[in-house]
Structure 1
Amino acid sequence: MGSSKKVTVGYKYYVGMHMILCHGPVDRLLRIQVDERDVWDGRLSGGQIALNQPNVFGGESREGGIQGAVDFEAGHAAQEQNSYLLSKLGSYVPSFRGVAGMVLRQIYVGMNPYLKKWSFRLQRIHTRQNGLPQWHDSKAEISGLGVGANVNETFSNTAIFESNDPAAYIVEQNSIRNSGSAAGSVSSFYKRQIPTLIIKSFSVEFLVERLSAGDSMRIAIASDNGTAWFSFNPVREAVVDALQRPMINGNNAIAPDKLDVNVWYRLEVNANVSPGNLGYKITRLSDSATISTGQYPQPQEIAVSQLMFVRDQDSSPSITRFKNVLIVGAGTTGDMNPAHIIRECLTDPLWGMGYLEADIDDLSFMAAADTLYAEGFGMSLLWDTETSIEEFIKIIVKHIDASVYVDRKTGRFVLKLIRDDYNPANLLTLNESNVEKIADFNRPSIGELINSVTVTYWNSETGQNATLTVQDIALSQQQQSTVGTSVTYEGITNAHIASRVAQRDLKTLSTPLASCTIYANRAAAGLNVGDVFKLTWPVYDLTDMVMRVTGIAYGDGRSHRVRIQCVQDAFATPDSAIIVPPPIERPDTGQEPVPIARYAVFEVPYFELVQRQGQPAIDALLAGNPDMGFVGAGAARPQGAALSARIYTDMGNGYEDVSNLDFSPCAVLDEAIDQMATTFAIREVQDIEAITLGTWFQLGTELMSVESITTSSITVKRGVLDTVPASHSDGDSLIFWDEYGEADPTEYIASEQINVKLLTVTGAGRLALANAPQDTVTLDSRALRPYPPGNFKINGSYFPNAVSGPVSLSWVERNRLQQTGAVLIGFSDGTVTPETGTTYNVYAYDDSNNDLKYSNTGITGISDVIGVGFLAGVINLRVELYAVRDGYQSLQPQTHVMQWSSGENMMTFENNYTPDAGNSVQLQFTQ
């Protein structure tokens, strides 16, 4: 006997799901991918799609595919409840207006129980988030190919053809000629795939050799499924039209006597000449005479992808040659005008900064939008809440080379493109008559210049990042090496724009542009960031040099001096280099490395270790070895050609190369500051675009958090992590090493002294060890020590100059283990529940001789009072406040020196009385 039994070889999985994609409403859905494989593409503004890719993951023999109905919801204000969600969740399901979403209607998702990653490409250009029409909408969308981009097919012997009848054509005189070999059923005489486009205009030149009854040869542009954008048949249709009038889209287009045989013509078609219509024009090339013009209804907007010259059932077509095909299109995925992006970031009330329309200088934004549209400079990029709106605007400004600022007269936001749009004769001139001084003048040497720029951008056709490199060959030969840099422009979507931006950056980086800081009078008060002016300064041999403002400060109310940071304008330099390097006897392999001038070496703080290895790992490491520590460093780039630095350490057995160090952004303090200053002037800012708000930097031994920064000013939180506020001097260096610092991987223990050297690396090699300055780090169990208390006050004030009587101290608590979040806590922030076992020690000294006058240890509260009796004879009082836990004091104490007096029975002499030498003053008190 035999029997059969069904065997289960796998399971099919079906999913119902609602996915929220982004803020809405959006213009349209363009592509759906599952596991990075295309399952649908098109242009859908809303509605249902039938996905039908059952074999996209290998079919039923492997992981199945995708099949079923999905709903795309663009998020418009009138969007209704989704019927599928209603059926599953009931009548209380919302309509989900204001967000774009996708509803999967229990669709087949393959034979793998693990859900694959879905991704969607959306476009939002013409639809504003608040439902209002887009501002300056005619310039909002910019072709992904760039304005004027085209598919230009001038047919020649190298043309590629597809035909059902290979003998049906021959190539002759740079055109395609029909050989007239065979009649038959409808077939493609010539078909050429073109990049998928939304057509803006089209032209072709063709030769008519006969106009006889029954001829059928037409020109068509169509989508892959054959839907024609237009169809032109310049022959006599014997059955339909006895008057022999050629047809466009089935309509009579030309009078019967207009076309002649053996004559070349040009057909031109333009989209949107009037609502819902295409316009056409046919011209005779021999005398440029217009044969016919007109309009006809435009088909539904479709993405065309092929050009066809079709022969229908005739061995002797009328058109026998065609050439010079020009197709201009916008691409299926247009980019947004960057001026519109910035404007929406400023004004959108939901996710933007919420400024009013009246706060925008429309004239400057419209001028910028028109320029960017003419340049074909569109952008497509994603914003999410991980990047602030301010930083997002900076990214856009960097792409388009522009500045955004608030006009001091109107109070409105101004967008200014950095372009060659000025007449030097009309510029303001700064010279000895209106300039007080010039500082920090610098012109890079040839060895500091960059001769190669590599740009990384997002290719919209592939959906992947792509790169291209441009080089200054002449400069490279002068430098005898390639000195390159890389930059990422994630908003650029095509190689055409990426190449132009790379050339722009290369010109700036490969030209020895002078830079300086100018201190001028109020004649310069009308300048803004991005403006240009002429500088004449005989000391530096400058005569009418065009400079561009990179940063400006207008004075503080007491001084009306205008401080201008500027750089020579790249547009005012010659296109070809005129620098002649001095003769050299050996090949120059790049600029020789110089010592690093601005840097910090330190024992690595607890939070930095947590960021690198995670809190559980560091806490476990400290539990096993409380006194362990690591040596770290951060450094500013000392010269333009510097690539990186190497960290060398020596614990007594000689120096060893232990780590690579990327350079940190840096700045210089432009004024002296006390412990409480939170906004202060800076200068000589390097790599400001690489500074992330909310990260820390080091100034002296103090760590501060960056709250906001420009090229001339910074706002901070003082004394973050395990440091306390301190006074700092004009000229001190700010090293922004939070995201760039590096450490020796060796684990040291407390009291060990480690020598450190930082060696600059350029294309010419590494700085000699003997030429690098040496610093010594003494390990002090920094990672384990409790944080010092914050908000320290003396007699109710911050750091007073003088006090009298009892000295009252107060503070708030901190916690090393809890202060590991995204927001750093500063000196004046509120209290944090301390680590278990934390107490406080207070000490008071006579600062003149370091004599300890008072101590109170093991304090469990957050205040203390130093009585007058402890301070007899003290004039300059120094107080110190430490946090203590498990026998470890905070790395730094809250400390302050001030004048002190008892405030009791005080007696002074008038007129600065001084007794004679050898005599004394006797005082007698009587009742």
Structure 2
Amino acid sequence: MGKSSKGTKGYKYFTSLVLMLGNRIECLLGVNFDKKGWQKPVVLKDDENMLAGVHQFDLPELYGDTEGGISGQLALYDGNTVQMPDPHYQQYFPLAPAYRHQSYVVLRDFYVGNSPYLKDVMFLPKRTRIRNDGSEQWYRVREDGVVVCEIGSRNFKGISADIKAEIESAKWVIKDKNNGIIHTETNLVNSISYLFSTGTEVGATGEFQANIKFSKPVHNAYFYIIGEADDIGDLSVTNARIFKLSEIDIPSFGKGYEWVVDIYDGTIEVDLSFKIKNLYESVHQGSIQLSFESEASSSEAEIQGFDINPVHKARELITDYTAMGKPESDIHDENFRAAASRIWDEGLGISWAIQEKSCKEALQELEAHIEGGFRINRQTGLYECVLFRDDLLDLENALNFDESNIKTIEFDTINVDDAINSYNVSYYDRENLKDSTFSIDDVGLIHTVGHVNAEKLDFPYFMSRRNAEIVANWKLKQASTAAWKGSFTTGRYDARKINKYDVILLSWQSKQLVNVPIRVLNISLGDGVDNTVTIDFIEVVSYSENMNTQINSDESMNTVLEPQQNNAVVFEAPYYELVQENGQANVNLELENNAEAGYLMTAVSKPQNNSIYALLYTDKATEDYTQMQKVGYVDYCPSLTLDQDISFTDSVFSVKNATEILLAAAGTLILLDGELLVYQSYDAVTNKLTVKRAALDTVPKPHLLNAVFYFFDEFRFIDTEQYVASETVQTQVLTTTPSATQKRDPIDVKTLELNARAIRPYPPANVKINDEYYPAEIDSDLVLTWVNRNRLQQTGGEILGYFDGGVTLENGVNYQLILTEFDEDQIELRTQSINVGQLNSYTFSAGAMQANTFAIQITLKSIRDSYECFQFFTHTVELSRFYSAPYDLTVEFKND
């Protein structure tokens, strides 16, 4: 039973393919099919990389439901010296080469989607800790344990000395399944350890939120978070990276986690959120501890990075046999080590993949990325790396040049109007897989000269905006300053010891220059006949001084919105809905064969405009999340939100978010927190919704602000799988877009326990107590009246609401009344279970009540063949006679 599947009709396409990557690699960090995000094989965890070997992918709906996805085996070869030919490749080409020293992948009968055209595939290879020949990387680990060759790698053992933090604000929030706030607690600032729970409502979330501020901007600092959850815990952090150091099972409780929060970009504050979700009908608890001064308990506290240190890359260009091929003895090892260590501290990592480029051009591009230079020291003949940093200037030992030792000098004309005051910076955004740009402006200079002089600045090997911003700021400081530059000649003998990029001091009285630091851009020693030294120079501008810069983003606004979380609900299908879908005769026949049968139903409203429908997955009552299977396609239904609290009897009330109400037809069913309503009308001027309350097998109940109405009736989806009473089904309803499907996540599971709803009789309706609805108290006999409902009869025509008149009672149905009397201390005095039969009233006289009865709980049910109604009437009234005023009082006045 249920909707027929709209399943894709057509072909699935498979291929076997060899794809060359390049030279030797360590591993693959991920594979990106058609820009759907970096994917890993099914058996790998998030922090594990793809090493050489065979890997299984299983993402059959990656491209969206109609386009299919990918699945199959991918064999990775890293280019080692002993790798053998791929056996699958050899099936087609027996003499297939092994491609030693070359990395490549082989797709083995790989499912590539429902289109005959292979979509774009990107691979993210990594080679930072080994050299091109496979040997261990030069200067891999520093004395303090830092992996210097790899930018972004971190060893989080120990305490971060750079962090001074305080919790600015903290709170925990409990939300229901529709994200309505149930409870908030904010007085939490004085602690670093917190305990919170979700309550017993299925689908509720408990979430701890904190804002942490630092006493100064921090870089390369970190702190630890320890969390516990009796089901599933999830941490998210803004303005920092998080890494899960450990996840352990806690006996008789749940899971324990340890995360490290890595602050790497000069952040001054961090917002974090630790969330647990209640998947079952029990109290779910979680705890979280923020540890600013403790060490990690996990032994796995090292995180690998993505980027290579550019100094290591430059050294490889100079020494590798595929590039310049210089012997390693030509490198000033101590100098390169110091430069590599400084670059790691600054976080200026690069990533590149080049097909052909001259070594000279490649070194020049690396110089631009690190704001430095590579040279051959003319005294030692060794390659050196010079970084242009304020704190690396050795001015005390710098040579001083002035009128006494300069033969001739020429200064370039300084024109502030022509100075560069803006850069259009480009870099590659690895996170969004695209070239990105921003502009950086010297606002003060622009205001001074009255116009913009902009130039382009490219950083093709920076994968993050943070790195591009740092170096662009340095370069703009130099370019926008009216710095002295020119050339001079000297006969001073010591000048022959000067090397390119050295810093010397210049004094020139006519220009009012006194010991001005200048950097040597080029040096010429003469021709053997005239040994005059010629030096080209530029004034050193301090990059660390304050600069009035402004960064303007130029990101594309045409980003495709990924599938968002939806607000789906799952419930057991009522008898009425099964009849509408499949006909009454068919439904009755199935129930005769299996009275315990039940069917799952779902409703979901559209979470975003570019989604057409949702996908329903269930575990087929196996209670095993790994057995989740796609069931079908769910059409989105109109929805709106309650804008006030309502009582048992309200039928007209204020609502909001009614943008799709025109899609709903009058007279159809609405689901509101388990109660079925009948839509009557909506007033767009007053935002008032008119409904009938508690239709079919439901009874009225109060509802709170922000409760969601699902107009599901004409958009119904019923799972065709037949379940039986007491079976529990795990479900997920996933948002789809034309290009992607929301990823499945255990934390988003919705659970439904079947209850044989279809076979159960309807409850009595229009129940009144002493001719009132839900009175708080009575002062005489308890007189109960109600009207009949009929499950078999109420299958067509206008749907009755709870307060409508009665119909003929369903054959075989009897009413059971349970009266429980309590005293004023809520101690139970007596409980009576009364078979009322098929009557529509009952009177409980005051004289028959216990003498000290304070309140009576009334429960009224319908029963047929031992099946009780799905929902039933229950209410508690107090006896006003318990508070009768005193009488026969005498007032006596005494004059003492």
Q: TM (normalized to structure 2)?
A: 0.49
Q: TM (normalized to structure 1)?
A: 0.47
Query: Which structure ranks higher in relative contact order (CA pairs < 8 Å, sequence separation ≥ 6)?
Result: 2
